């Protein structure tokens, strides 16, 4: 993977940051994209101080013109994009019947339309080159019903099927499109769900019968690097004959379904 160029969205923290670091460790030059410019630049400063080749590209994945602009900028400054990782994501918790229009629209704007806009912009540039790999970070919630996660689960299910359909269409161009579906992972997105820190963490692991959650058979939360390693595997030549695959990284929480 050394010498390749990757574009990673949602790169300012959590899984996205871990993906950037893991790619950097393999000699990949990374375009780190995030809407939060302050956090993004702090993250990139930390990664470059550690010796990785990372450059910040502030951008909003929910804006098609913005996406086209930052993808153009990446290719002009760093070279053709070999790898795309769609890691930008948001979560709005609410019972389905109590979701607001704004909650629904924002969730789909980032988690679904963002994947569409960025994938379209990057893959259209990959096709003439006849190579490339895409990984979308989805969720085990895309296939497992969760209380108060209707918008999130639906948006991730849509992104999952979009990525697989795209993968079917561009396979003839030598481009692979796969997914990684994390479960509960130690990121701010998860901790922000917890009203009572340690007991909520324990409940995530042990399960909550009243919410129909079975817990995590491996008895631990994922770390961002666990997810990042799965992403990088699917981008790499080790996965050269894998496309349209959904790799679940959840410690068994979805019971292998």
Catalytic residues: 152
Query: CA 166 to CA 32: how far, in whole Å?
Result: 23
Query: Starting at the edge strand that comes first in sequence, how are the strands of the sheet with 175-182 ordered?
Result: 54-58, 29-34, 5-9, 83-86, 132-137, 175-182, 246-249
Beta strands in 64-124 (DSSP E): 83-86
Query: CA 128 to CA 143: how far, in whole Å?
Result: 34
Query: CA 155 to CA 96: how far, in whole Å?
Result: 13
Angle at which helix 114-126 crosses helix 64-78, to 10 degrees, equals 40
């Amino acid at each position: 993977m050394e010498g390749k160029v990757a574009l990673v969205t949602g790169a300012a923290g959590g899984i996205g940051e871990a993906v950037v670091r893991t790619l950097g460790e393999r000699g990949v030059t990374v375009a780190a994209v995030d809407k939060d410019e302050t956090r993004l630049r702090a993250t990139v400063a930390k990664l470059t101080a550690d010796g990785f080749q990372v450059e910040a590209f502030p951008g909003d994945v929910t804006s098609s013109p913005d996406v086209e602009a930052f993808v153009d900028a990446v290719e002009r400054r760093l070279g053709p994009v070999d790898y795309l990782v769609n890691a930008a994501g948001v979560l709005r918790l609410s019972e389905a019947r109590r979701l607001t229009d704004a909650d629904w629209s924002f969730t789909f704007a980032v988690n679904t339309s963002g994947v569409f806009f960025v994938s379209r912009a990057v893959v259209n540039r990959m096709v003439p080159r006849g190579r490339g790999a895409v990984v979308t970070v989805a969720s085990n919630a895309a296939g497992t019903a969760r209380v108060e996660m209707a918008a999130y689960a639906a948006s991730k299910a849509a992104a999952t099927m979009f990525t697989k359909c795209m993968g079917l269409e561009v396979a003839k161009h030598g481009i692979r499109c796969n997914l990684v579906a994390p479960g509960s992972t130690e990121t701010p997105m998860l901790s922000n769900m917890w009203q009572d820190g340690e007991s909520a963490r324990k409940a995530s692991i042990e399960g909550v019968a009243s919410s129909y959650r079975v817990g995590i058979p491996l008895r631990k939360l994922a770390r961002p690097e666990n997810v990042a390693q799965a992403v990088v595997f699917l981008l790499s030549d080790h996965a050269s004959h894998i496309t349209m695959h959904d790799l679940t990284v959840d410690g068994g929480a979805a019971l292998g379904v």
